[in-house]
Chains A and B, each alone.
Chain A
């Protein structure tokens, strides 16, 4: 993966604006500031990773981009035009599709019905307007085959698929419906090692199809191999925004773990005379991150 070099395109030439651009975006819930000062960009064929621990503001960020919530600070530009996305429909019309952690699939419904949910293909006129079932099944099968998933039967309930397969159906759906920006919310969080690898492969496939991908995760080991840009969040504030050639995996890991906090934790554990094993673990990790950071 490291052989893939980045042609930098910080500011696209001429009127060529970013696919999606956030500048100083923030959001309050009442008097709580959930997100502030977020600046990031998404481009065709690039993967922008948003990294952060639980409660870092990742969910708030994607809800703003996907139109579920509206930001109250900063600007959000879609293809150069300043926008405020009022609803998920709004975002979809602007070419922004989100694949949520819970996947937004209805597990009791057949795969093809899920695939076309909310954007059904119909045929006929007036009161005889009906679903074009054959066509929808055919397209579902084809789109999934293009993603490299060979499904037995698109009529089975989607709940019977594995987590990775379901994730891929959701991605294929977004791609089929003309998404230009694809938001993936923790797609690997609930998956095993192998399934995670499969999903990462589909992320690259979506990228190679020219989509701008926003990949949200708390796992730098998943983000680094596929990402082109990295936005690190902590407690709703950006911790850093890097191009891939400006940062290493270890640096990202270190920043996310928070070196200082780890040190404090180690100290606390030893002062409590607590569990030696856990203490050693924390110390080992601390030493590792320090060492790696010193080397780079």
Chain B
């Protein structure tokens, strides 16, 4: 019976086992790592498996993961953004300072922040396309400029290093409900950003594997010249990716703002690397053309687990960065092996 089925199939397909096929997926390395880490912390920290702890881990993962969505897509498209960490704060600051200064409904500020965030992404992409400089340099410059602007404008407008409180303004409660409330799931309070994060991962995954634009993202990252030659709008795709990162920055910025009611203008520095690390651990190739949004999410989850797990295990959190570095190294090595395998001719 089996032979009858086998003869129908191409005899050469049979040689690719399920395991080998699964190993070809970009996120598989990070998934194995995530499982290992999960089991590890479940064994060493009793509190780790409690629902409330898991909710906290997920929350920690979501604050990195939301940005990792945009950063992963951008990395698959072959580019970097180093300005993401401070751009999140810029977005939050522009919403709060504008609403406070003009005493408007905070939703006006929220919309303005969206325009600012998309604008930062657009400017990053536009300068990158026009100057043909590496995105590393362009966004590094943007990082420095935004860092300065955040501090200087906040002091100039609000008179302090933190933005003034906006909790008394109209619309604050409804905005807090959308961006920073908690949802009760079977008796456990789960922060709403966790759901926003998961929704964003789902949408990004759908865009990436099931739409034209997704095809273009892979193509511009894999080989921009080849993509251009077959008629893919390379410049528009890349600018769009930078703006997508901007959008993610807006979502996280709004959460940061409404989780409290003020923003520290000096925050965010260094976070851009966490987002990139999440994407890389999740299997996105630094050189572009390969990766997945789910991988970025798993990378962020690993980050959340390591971050909170160390606390639950009652270790010194000093160890955290060491583990993060080690995981990054291992993940990149796995990625290189995968890429060589995919590109090798028979």
Contacts and interface: CB of A to CB of B under 8 A. Distances in A.
A159 B341 CA distance: 10
Interface in A87-118: 88-89, 92, 98, 100, 102-109, 113, 116-118
B13 A113 contact: no
Interface string A113-132: 10011111010000001110
A130 B210 contact: yes
Contacts of B16: 153
B158 interface: no
A119 B232 CA distance: 8
B218 A88 contact: no
Interface size class of B (residues with CB under 8 A): 20 to 34
Interface string B216-233: 101100110111111110
B43 to A, nearest CB: 38
A131 B211 contact: yes
B26 to A, nearest CB: 10
A107 B226 CA distance: 10
A100 B230 CA distance: 10
B215 A159 contact: no
Nearest to A87: B231
B212 A122 contact: yes
B342 A162 contact: no
Contacts of B229: 66, 68, 88, 98, 100, 104
B10 interface: yes
A88 B230 contact: yes
Given A92-B231, A157-B342, A162-B346, A104 B226 contact: yes
SS class, residues of chain B in contact with chain A: helix
Contact of B223 (A107, A120, A129, A133): A107
Interface string A133-148: 1000000000000000
Nearest to A166: B345
Interface in B165-213: 206, 210-212
Contacts of B215: 113, 116-117, 120, 131
20 contacts: A92-B231, A98-B229, A102-B225, A104-B226, A104-B229, A106-B219, A106-B227, A107-B222, A108-B290, A108-B343, A117-B230, A118-B219, A118-B232, A119-B230, A119-B231, A130-B211, A131-B210, A131-B212, A153-B13, A163-B345
B342 A160 contact: yes
Interface of B: 10, 12-13, 16, 206, 210-212, 214-216, 218-219, 222-223, 225-232, 285, 289-290, 339, 342-346
**Most chain B CB inside 10 Å of its own CB: which residue of A89, A104, A117, A157:** A117
A120 B212 contact: yes
Contact of B226 (A103, A119, A120): A103
Nearest to B229: A104
B238 to A, nearest CB: 15
Contacts of B346: 160, 162
Contacts of B343: 107-108, 157, 159-160
A4 interface: no
A2 B218 CA distance: 46
A102 B232 CA distance: 17
